[in-house]
Amino acid sequence: MSTPHWYPQDPRYAAPAVPSAHAARGGPEPAGFGRRLAARSIDYVLAVIAATAFFVVAVILLEVLTGGSGDNDAQAEVWALMLFFGWGVLLFFYDWLYLVAWGRTLGKAVVGIRVVDAADGGRLSQGQAMGRAALFGLPQSLPVLGHLFSLGESMASLGEHRRALHDRACGTVVIRD
């Protein structure tokens, strides 16, 4: 895989010098951890709102369709398990669908960043978008441990090339607009 001209190859580039090196070459600047964290926080809030709306509508529909005579304890257990373990699946679909369609989630759009192919700076392939979303979102299906894993692997974006492990594994880079 060839590396684009705007991506630094010289190990002499220190982390603070990377943005100016990109600007000097006329290429896009990698997004910093702060912007990425802000975008992810916005995405989490939007995902919580969407999940809550889904659960409220689903519970109302179940009550209307069953006439309120359903086994409420069993339904409550199912909803609790979905809420507890379904977060990673929700994040997977949220990231994957937005990245493959627009190259950014709503949170990334708000803070002015997007995800591109690291090789040529172009749109993500279906596989890149799916892989990136899976590596970041699905581990979060495991409460606490999955969240810690996702936070830890995302901390790699603090490094010189500002790429998290899910970016490196899928050949993507997050850039500022």
* Domain ranges (residues) in the chain: 30-176
- CA nearest to 164, candidates 148, 177, 151, 176: 151
Phi–psi pair at 154, nearest 5 degrees: -75, -25
DSSP H or E run through 75: helix 72-85
What mean pLDDT comes out for the span 143-151?
81
pLDDT tens, residue by residue, 57-110: 877 887 787 776 656 676 677 777 777 778 888 889 999 999 999 999 999 999
d(CA 32, CA 74): 45
Phi–psi pair at 67, nearest 5 degrees: 70, 20
Residue 149 burial (CB count, 10 A): 16
| Reported confidence tier of residue 21, pLDDT bands at 50, 70, 90 | very low
